[in-house]
Structure 1
Amino acid sequence: MAFLGLRKWPTPILKPLWPFMAAGTLTMYLVSKAQDNAVRSPENRNDPRNPYAAQIARESLH
């Protein structure tokens, strides 16, 4: 018998959604790596519009 729509056992949430969470994590990681490689590419390394240009220049001096 359901009381106000509540069941005797809770509906599982994590068990059926774990593939989507794993795929989302993997996608975020790969996009982050692609962005980092694009920012550090030779054609964008010295571009004045690059917000990481100063940081890349400091790292290359060491």
Structure 2
Amino acid sequence: MAFLGMRKWPTPILKPMWPFIAASGVTFYLVSKMQAMGIRSPEYANSPKNPYANEIARENAHH
């Protein structure tokens, strides 16, 4: 019998969801690395549409 919607045994949440949580973390990490590589590529590094162009130019000036 449920008392105010509470069950006798709690429903597991993290145990069946751990593969999806881990995959989300890996996907977030890989997409952010791909984005960083894309904005720093020579084709787009000097583009006026690139919001990080000034930052990239300052990094390249120090080298």
Give yes or no for TM over 0.5: yes
Structure 1 stretches lacking a partner, 5+ long: none
2:3 matched to which residue of 1? 3
1:5-34 CA-to-partner distances (Å, cap 9, x unmatched) read: 321121111111000000001001111011
TM-score, length basis structure 2: 0.90
1:51 Cα deviation after fit: 0.2
User: Are 2:7 and 1:12 equivalent residues in the alignment?
Assistant: no
1:2 Cα deviation after fit: 2.1
Q: Counterpart amino acid of 1:40?
A: R
1:50 matched to which residue of 2? 50
1:56 Cα deviation after fit: 0.3
1:61 Cα deviation after fit: 1.3
Q: Percent identity?
A: 68
TM-score, length basis structure 1: 0.91
RMSD: 1.0
Structure 2 stretches lacking a partner, 5+ long: none
Q: Counterpart amino acid of 1:41?
A: S
- The number of residues matched between the two structures is 62
